[in-house]
Amino acid sequence: MSKGEMEDKISRLLTQWEKEYLGRGSLVVKTDLLRNMVIVVMKGILTPAEQQLAKSQDGLLSIKQMRSNLVETGSEQLYAIIEECTRKTVTSLFTDISTRTGERVMVFMLDQALT
């Protein structure tokens, strides 16, 4: 599988995971492979209600915490998706969400570089 095909497959599988696990998927998902990292940018992840809630500091923090908890509880499934596509072991996952732009970034660290 070429690098581009792998990036596309990861994007599609993560969108499918979001729809099945979270109930809705991102509007745009872009995956990039770099050395031993799988970098995923998801756009359009906030619901209209979350967009309203994010207008206050307390709401913003609660959205970040809730979304972080949801990803953490589904991390085994996420690791499995990345490991299936890359044939490498995921050693860690870093993620953050921007409540201002409605984007999430996920960085999966692998045990070895993709060749």
Query: What span, in angstroms and rounded, lies between the C-alpha atoms of 56 and 51?
Result: 10
C-alpha dihedral (53, 59, 62, 68), degrees to nearest 10: 50
Give the pLDDT confidence score for residue 91 in this predicted structure: 98
* Mean pLDDT, residues 6-17: 97
Query: What span, in angstroms and rounded, lies between the C-alpha atoms of 46 and 98?
Result: 9
Q: pLDDT, tens digit, for every residue of 31-70?
A: 999 999 999 999 999 988 998 998 899 998 999 899 889 9
Give the pLDDT confidence score for residue 113 in this predicted structure: 96
Q: Rounded to 5 degrees, what are φ and ψ at 41?
A: -115, 125
Q: 63 near 46, Cβ under 8 Å?
A: yes
- Domain edges within the chain: 3-110
* Mean pLDDT, residues 18-24: 90
Residue type, 99: T
Q: pLDDT, tens digit, for every residue of 65-109?
A: 998 899 999 999 999 999 999 999 999 999 999 988 989 999 999
Give the pLDDT confidence score for residue 1 in this predicted structure: 87
Tell me how far CA of residue 103 lies from CA of 28, 41, 80, 86, in angstroms: 9, 7, 23, 24
